[in-house]
Amino acid sequence: MSFRFKQFFIEDSKCAMKVGTDGVLLGAWVPIPYTIHHTPHTILDIGTGSGLIARMLMQRCPDAEVEGIDIDAAAVEQAKENGVKASCVKLQDWQGTYDLIVSNPPYFQNSLKNPDKGRQTARHTDTLSYEELIVHSARLLNEDGQLAIILPAEAEAEVRRLAAVQNLFLTHLTRVYSKETKPARRVMMAFEITRSRDHVVTTKTDTLILEDEKGGRSAAYSELCKEFYL
């Protein structure tokens, strides 16, 4: 299926995990400081799938080198067709250094496995645990580099604990609600890495509600994604 955004198309027919709200949210939300010294020059999308988030960051950071990795060969082929520089490789085996790493990773830890092997790999943490994601992202980040991820809300405490061990400090936390009356369903977290013990980080915390009273996109959701959604 093909999805049309303002500046690009995404085809996801070969991908186990299709274009969805989580990827769009993360790609639009990733905090990018637009200064001469801190604009990211190298960006890695872990578990790139169709290349959606990578393409969004290519739009937002036109001067950056953006690449994606995935263990699904068909997804990597699709990402390349969608204009993304992509490699079929495990994160655990990947080498490089990056100013920004992003990921919409596998997140089902204890639920029943999907009978479709491709979707099982894409959706479950068997092939990439939260700990591996955090440890290897920290390994690949440049000093003062950022990691931005979207996860189920219930994973927040565990991931914050794992990140702290790797000197990844939470700079921005957004809790995502489908409706104001329901519990948070996702969290988007941005971490900054530092090896300095004297480094002081302030965490910005906010919320995002996706639906308005009529069931349509909320004003905040529309504003966040206005450069992408038609």
Sorted by sequence, the CB contacts under 8 Å of residue 229 that are 6+ apart come out as 5, 6, 24, 222
pLDDT tens string, the chain, 230 residues long: the values are 789 999 999 999 999 888 999 999 999 999 987 544 567 999 999 999 999 999 999 999 999 999 999 999 999 999 999 999 999 999 999 999 999 999 999 875 444 444 444 444 444 456 799 999 999 999 999 988 999 999 999 999 999 999 999 999 999 999 999 999 999 999 999 999 986 666 667 899 999 999 999 999 999 999 999 999 99
Give dist(CA 79, CA 85) in Å, integer: 7
Give dist(CA 76, CA 159) in Å, integer: 27
CB 53 within 8 A of CB 110: no
Structure tokens at 207: 């919320």
Give dist(CA 30, CA 47) in Å, integer: 16
Domains with residue ranges and CATH for the chain: 2-224 (3.40.50.150)
CB 1 within 8 A of CB 18: yes
Rg of the chain (C-alpha set): 17
pTM, rounded to two decimals: 0.90
